Amino acid sequence: CESHGLALGLFSALYLHFHLCVPLSPPLPLQTVQSHKPHFLAVHCQEVGGKNYEASMSHVDSFVKELLSSDAMREYSRARVYLDENYKSQEHFTALGSFYFIHESLKNIHQFDFKAKKFKKVVGKETYSETLESTPSLEKEKFPQDYFPECKWSRKGFIRTRWALADCAFDLVNIHLFHDASNLVAWEKSPSVYSGTRQKALGYALDRITDQRHEKLPYFVFGDFNFRLDSKQVIESLCSTAAMQTVRAADTNEVDKLIFRESDNDRKVVLQLEKKLFNYVYQDVFRENNGTSLLQYDKELSVFKDRLHELEISFPPSYPYSEDSSQGKQYMNTRCPAWCDRILLSPSARELVLKPENEEKSIVYDNIGPNVCMGDHKPVFLSFRITAGAGKPNANKHKCCVVQ
């Protein structure tokens, strides 16, 4: 979308989400920034350092320094980077990373100090890591361990920051919810037990960012929600004409594998399902027309329909892509492809984005690198413009912000 300066009463924002596994090649995300030319850029990452974070975390700092000093980002004169790198703390480690960049043309931007309970002007570039829980410019929480007892040490949690610009204030929440530990367990009932766990955790996060400790503001929540298609329903649909064979483990008699075979066509195997295997032979269904025929099975957000909104999805499921650099469009045969990575808006945030004066073409919700390997998650982004003064209070709206 075009970028307008504050002199025209508009500013543009670009919200990106991706998993940060270093070393990471940044050209495509930077190309997206150069294409949309946002004044305010927010990037939320999960799994900072990757799966082998103990070995890879040392590369994160050099990646951040390179990013901050890159030619592509030279017009962003202020930045705040928050990296949860303290993997030795089981109690607090979330592996979340939040990056915020402010264009030099944006003259007046403030960030909230949650300890002092007031906004402070943002100047310079600063990076915070290690013990983020004591950093006053954010709130960080890790979900209680008993939310996901299957995982002995979960890194799931959220980070919240609060910003004020163009006479409007809002919260940005970086979130990582619980995954599906077993395809077989997810298949057992509709909705799955994992769906219920994510619902509980997301509800907890929303309650925390809207409680009485601070003024309620519009909020954007983006990250890896790990939302999955309803496994039972989508498999019954994909394999509606197939016969199911159950294979049990010899020692425990527990279900070890499900095999779905076509009734004709030489009893061809359509789907083989194991704990960490989802091998479906007609994978193109997840790419044709961006997989939108399967959105009917994407139901986890519906529980929060009064609290969270989303723009129309027009990109294929964001996970799990092949990590083979030559297979940019191919899904791995590990999980049923799903829209795990999302950018969600509170009702008041949706009003800011969808103002009548915002032309539809100025709002873009899409993924990055559709044909290029970007890791097992495709990054998603939301680009939009907000009219300066959009958050000013009137008789029907809450006070948007007070800058001190």
Smallest CA-to-CA distance from 18 within 158, 193, 224, 185 is with: 224
pLDDT in tens, the chain (404 residues): 222 222 222 345 555 555 544 444 456 677 778 788 888 999 998 988 777 777 777 788 888 888 898 888 899 999 999 999 888 787 888 999 999 999 999 988 999 999 999 999 999 999 999 789 899 999 999 998 888 767 666 789 999 999 998 788 999 999 999 999 999 999 999 999 999 999 999 999 999 999 999 999 999 999 999 999 999 999 999 999 999 999 999 999 999 999 999 988 788 999 999 999 999 999 999 999 999 999 999 999 999 999 999 999 999 999 999 999 899 999 999 999 999 999 999 999 999 888 766 566 678 899 988 998 888 999 899 988 876 666 554 433 434 444 43
Q: Which residues is 111 bridged to in the sheet? A: 120, 163
Q: Which two tokens stand for residue 95?
A: 């592996």
Q: Measured between alpha carbons, how far is 1 from 10 in angstroms, rounded to an integer?
A: 12
- For tokens 């029907």, what's the residue? 396
Contact at 8 Å (CB) between 86 and 130? yes
* SS3 category, 141: strand
For 77, other C-beta atoms within 10 Å of its C-beta total 16
| Stretch (H or E) spanning 29 | helix 27-36
Q: Measured between alpha carbons, how far is 132 from 12 in angstroms, rounded to an integer?
A: 28
- Enumerate long-range contacts of 2-8, CB under 8 Å, 24 or more apart: 2/37, 2/362, 3/36, 3/37, 3/38, 3/39, 4/385, 5/39, 5/105, 6/105, 6/106, 6/107, 6/166, 6/388
pLDDT of residue 210: 97
pLDDT of residue 90: 79
pLDDT of residue 61: 84
Contact at 8 Å (CB) between 111 and 163? yes
pLDDT of residue 358: 59
Q: Measured between alpha carbons, how far is 374 from 342 in angstroms, rounded to an integer?
A: 16
pLDDT of residue 146: 82
Contact at 8 Å (CB) between 365 and 380? yes
pLDDT of residue 86: 82
Domain 6-228+283-387 -> CATH class:
alpha beta
Contact at 8 Å (CB) between 259 and 245? yes
Q: Where are the alpha helices (DSSP H) in 285-385?
A: 347-353
- For tokens 């279900």, what's the residue? 255
For 329, other C-beta atoms within 10 Å of its C-beta total 15
User: How many CA atoms are closer than 13 Å to the CA of 227, on its beta-carbon side?
Assistant: 23
Contact at 8 Å (CB) between 142 and 95? no
pLDDT of residue 202: 98
Q: Measured between alpha carbons, how far is 284 from 260 in angstroms, rounded to an integer?
A: 18
> 352: Cβ–Cβ under 8 A, 6 or more apart, which residues?
168, 170, 218, 386, 390, 391
Q: Which two tokens stand for residue 250?
A: 């010899």
pLDDT of residue 402: 41
User: Beta strand pairing status for 255-262 and 242-248?
Assistant: antiparallel
Ordered by start, the domain boundaries in the chain are 6-228+283-387
Amino acid at 82: Y
Q: Measured between alpha carbons, how far is 65 from 202 in angstroms, rounded to an integer?
A: 32
Q: Which two tokens stand for residue 25?
A: 């090649």
Q: Which two tokens stand for residue 42?
A: 């927010």
